[in-house]
Amino acid sequence: MKFAGIDIGSRTIELVVVDETGDIVLSVQADTGFDPMAEARRLINGVSYDRIMATGYGRNLFEISFDTPTVTEIKAHARGARAFFPEAPAVLDIGGQDSKAIAMFANGKVKKFEMNDRCAAGTGKFLEIMAKTLGFRIEDFGREALHAQKELNISSMCTVFAESEVTSLIARGESPREIARGLHASVIRRAVGMINRVSSEGDIVFTGGVAKNPCMRFLLEEKLGRKVLCPDDPQLIGALGAALLALEIL
């Protein structure tokens, strides 16, 4: 038997299929675009599975369209992270438009969580817009920031305000790399605060698209003072968690 998990996020959709032992047999990804359900339909088209579970902000729409069970991103990430790092007591997930810190009991159940509210401050979208403002490709943004000589202090977390702060730093002649470093650090400070409110010690599993950014991983470990664990493809963790929960449903 095969079990699928689909994570319909604000920026990307991931589909993961696992077998009865929980091993990944298929994983695919697409941009969410303007019609998430059409994209989701395209992704699952031709993929065979016995049961599917949906997560992500589009889960309720998917539930209506495909009559499937759903699970929140929080539970899905906690479960997915555990597949790689069963001992880690906490997860930080930074996705396209939200971020969350999740603490788990030793048995993997969610103990407590925090989530950013309302706006894109401190999320992938924030970094994406800032990369654009500074003229970096999003794929290079983290590497460039990692090689900065110093870290500028950026105080605005609001995407709109931060953009004007960045513009004034450019006008002052600061280097884009160092500004980039400052932006990464400001996102991490916020994330560290969130983690510390739910969990005080132990390793952290870093998931979501933003975990692919090397500067974010480096700064998280540095500023948190705890070991940061990152799965090979951190963007798949939500969908993997949903697939594993589909497997364990009964």
In angstroms, the CA 5 to CA 11 distance is: 17
Amino acid (1-letter code) at residue 5: G
118 in contact with other proteins (CB under 8 A): yes
Part of the chain binding other proteins (CB under 8 A), chosen from 87-95, 110-118, 132-140, 221-229: 110-118
Q: Specify the residue, 73 or 144, whose C-beta has the smaller distance to other proteins.
A: 73
CB 60 to other proteins: min, Å: 8
Q: Which of 21, 34, 67, 117 binds other proteins (CB under 8 A)?
A: 117
Part of the chain binding other proteins (CB under 8 A), chosen from 19-27, 108-116, 173-181, 185-193: 108-116
115 in contact with other proteins (CB under 8 A): yes
71 in contact with other proteins (CB under 8 A): yes
Part of the chain binding other proteins (CB under 8 A), chosen from 11-19, 87-95, 105-113, 232-240: 105-113
Size of the site for other proteins (CB under 8 A): 16
Q: Which of 7, 14, 39, 73 binds other proteins (CB under 8 A)?
A: 73
Torsion of the alpha carbons at 135, 141, 144 and 147, rounded to the nearest 10:
140
H/E element holding 93?
strand 90-94
The secondary structure of 116-178 as a DSSP string is: --SS-TTSHHHHHHHHHHHT--HHHHHHHHHT-SS-------SHHHHHHHHHHHHHTT--HHH
Strand partners, 15: 6, 28
CB 8 within 8 A of CB 57: yes
| Interstrand relation of 90-94 and 204-207 (parallel, antiparallel or unpaired) | parallel
CB 192 within 8 A of CB 220: yes
CB 29 to other proteins: min, Å: 21
126 in contact with other proteins (CB under 8 A): no
For the segment 18-57, give every residue that binds other proteins (CB under 8 A): 57
CB 79 to other proteins: min, Å: 10
Q: How far is CA 217 from the centre of its chain?
A: 12
Q: Which of 3, 16, 44, 72 binds other proteins (CB under 8 A)?
A: 72
Residues of this chain that interact with other proteins (CB under 8 A) are 57, 60, 71-75, 98, 109-113, 115, 117-118
